[in-house]
Chains A and B, each alone.
Chain A
Amino acid sequence: MLSATEKSAYFAGIRDGWPFVFVAGPFAMLFGVVAIEAGLSLAQAMGFSVVVIAGASQFAAVQLMVDNASIALVLLAALAVNLRMAMYSAALVPFLGSAPLWQRACVSYLNFDQSYMASVARYETVPMTVPERFWFFIGVATPIAPTWVAFTAVGGLVGTSIPPEYALDFALPITFLAMIGPMLRTLAHVAAAFVSMCVGLVLVGLPSGSGLLIAAACAMITGVIVESWTEKRT
Chain B
Amino acid sequence: MTFSNAEIWLTILLVGVGTYVIRFSFLGLIGDRPMPAIVLRLLRYTPVAVLPAMVAPLALWPDATGGDVDPVRVTAALATLAMGVWKKHVLWAIGAGAVTLYAGLYLTGQL
Contacts and interface: CB of A to CB of B under 8 A. Distances in A.
B54 A212 contact: yes
Contacts of A77: 50, 54
A162 interface: no
A200 B97 contact: no
A93 B32 contact: yes
A174 B77 contact: yes
Contacts of B107: none
B52 A219 contact: yes
Interface in B52-98: 52-64, 73, 76-77, 80-91, 93-94, 97-98
Given A56-B47, A184-B48, A93 B53 contact: no
Interface in B4-35: 5, 7-16, 18-20, 22-28, 30-32, 35
A36 interface: no
> Chain A binding site: helix, strand, loop or mixed by DSSP?
helix
Most chain B CB within 10 A, of A90, A164, A199, is at A90
A157 interface: no
Interface residues of A, number: 98
A183 B48 CA distance: 7
Interface residues of B, number: 78
B52 A181 contact: no
B66 to A, nearest CB: 12
Nearest to A112: B23
Contacts, number: 297
A97 interface: yes
B54 to A, nearest CB: 6
A90 B26 contact: yes
B28 A174 contact: no
A80 B81 CA distance: 22
B53 A212 contact: yes
A223 interface: yes
Interface stretch (A1-9, A22-30, A147-155): A22-30
A12 interface: no
A233 B42 CA distance: 20
B34 to A, nearest CB: 10
Interface in A48-104: 48, 51-54, 56-58, 60-61, 63, 65-66, 68, 71, 74-75, 77-90, 92-94, 96-97, 101, 104
Contacts of A94: 32
A202 to B, nearest CB: 10
A10 B111 CA distance: 48
> Of residues B53, B77, B93, which shows the largest number of chain A Cβ atoms within 10 Å of its Cβ?
B53
29 contacts: A27-B90, A38-B1, A41-B5, A44-B5, A48-B15, A52-B16, A53-B19, A57-B19, A65-B3, A75-B14, A77-B50, A81-B51, A82-B19, A87-B44, A89-B27, A90-B25, A90-B26, A104-B28, A109-B23, A165-B111, A169-B64, A180-B55, A196-B53, A197-B52, A200-B57, A201-B56, A212-B50, A219-B49, A219-B53
3 A-B pairs with the lowest CB-CB distances in the bound complex, closest first: A181-B84, A200-B53, A223-B45
